[in-house]
Amino acid sequence: MGRISARGIGISGSHPEGNRPERLTNPHVQQKHVAMKFRPLTFSRRSDEEMRARAESLYEDLRTRRSVREFSADPIPLDVVRRCIASACSAPSGANKQPWTFVLVTDPEIKAKIKEAAEKEERDFYERRASEEWLRDLDPFGTGPSKPFLTTAPALIVVFAQRTGPADDGDEPARHYYVTESVGIAVGFLLTALHHAGFATLTHTPSPMRFLASLLGRPKNERAYMLIPVGFPASDCAVPNISKKTLEDVLVEY
């Protein structure tokens, strides 16, 4: 990434996100450039105590998130879902290209079509394409080709990754960078926001997901990335009895 110095905008090393910015030498141009391109950061410096309390509170909330596969058909406040999608859009992305589209599906007919197509792919996956090892790894979750949650959940968010910008006026489409990483982070923000607001979710990846782009009429530059049912859990919802690695298992410090 570019390095900001008192002398303007410099560059160090390679610049994986795109063209190198021009090195600026004229101080007048420099000042205008900086004035146009930068604005003061909004940042609240908190006390250590407050930071500890906030980190603890988020941890306690996030550790209760579970993937839910049994949903209630109760309606949900869609304005809250839209706000959570807005939170996802605040995610960082390669060169700020924001290479994502969120399709919110509540129409029962479209949900039924998605369910039908997903179950067709999943049947093929479970009966033919999945390896023995993969099926063994999925065993604790009790998953199979049947996906009733795709119609029971009141909303589905289908996340699309934009491989490039739109290519609608005959020009070369704009390049997008680190698309998979960027969309993954946005989905992480989305799942966090939805859980924090009080929704149950599932990160669902029917394999392959190509049917979603054609069913939802998405342009050629978009590929389906994740299908997220959103709602409340069924009253008798149960989840697999699994555990997470401990911090000691995954944290290495030097």
Ligand X SMILES: Cc1cc2nc3c(=O)[nH]c(=O)nc-3n(C[C@H](O)[C@H](O)[C@H](O)COP(=O)(O)O)c2cc1C
Question: What is the pattern of x (binds ligand X, CB under 6 A) and - over residues 21-60?
Answer: ----------------------------------------
- Burial profile 223-243: b = 16 or more Cβ within 10 angstroms, e = fewer: bbbbbbbbbbbbeeeeeeeee
Shortest reach from residue 242's CB to ligand X, in Å: 6
Shortest reach from residue 193's CB to ligand X, in Å: 16
Q: Which of 4, 23, 27, 141 binds ligand X (CB under 6 A)?
A: 141
E strands present in the chain? 2-5, 8-11, 100-105, 155-162, 200-201, 222-231
Apex 24 CA angle, 23 and 29, nearest 5: 155
Residue 69 interacting with ligand X (CB under 6 A): yes
Shortest reach from residue 201's CB to ligand X, in Å: 9
Question: What is the pattern of x (binds ligand X, CB under 6 A) and - over residues 217-246?
Answer: ----------------------x-------
Residue 115 interacting with ligand X (CB under 6 A): no
Residue 134 interacting with ligand X (CB under 6 A): no
Residue 146 interacting with ligand X (CB under 6 A): no
Q: Which of 98, 106, 143, 164 binds ligand X (CB under 6 A)?
A: 143
Q: Which of 30, 33, 67, 178 binds ligand X (CB under 6 A)?
A: 67
Phi, psi angles (nearest 5°) of residue 46: -105, 160
The pairing of strands 100-105 and 155-162 is: antiparallel
* Total residues binding ligand X (CB under 6 A): 10
Q: Which of 17, 24, 33, 66 binds ligand X (CB under 6 A)?
A: 66
Q: Which is nearer to ligand X, 30 or 67 (CB)?
A: 67
| Residue number closest to ligand X, CB atom | 67
Paired strand residues for 94: 177
Instruction: Please tell me the distance from the alpha carbon of residue 252 to that of residue 244, in angstroms, as a whole number.
Output: 17
The full DSSP string for 193-237 is HHHHHT-EE--B--SS-HHHHHHTT--TTEEEEEEEEEE-B-TT-
Q: Which is nearer to ligand X, 9 or 72 (CB)?
A: 72
Interface with ligand X in residues 189-208 (CB under 6 A): 202-205
Phi, psi angles (nearest 5°) of residue 55: -65, -40
Whether the CB-CB separation of 143 and 69 falls below 8 Å is answered with: yes
Shortest reach from residue 169's CB to ligand X, in Å: 34
Distances, alpha carbon 44 to alpha carbons 39, 40, 50, 67, 196, in Å: 16, 12, 11, 33, 21
Residues that bind ligand X (CB under 6 A): 66-67, 69, 141, 143, 202-205, 239
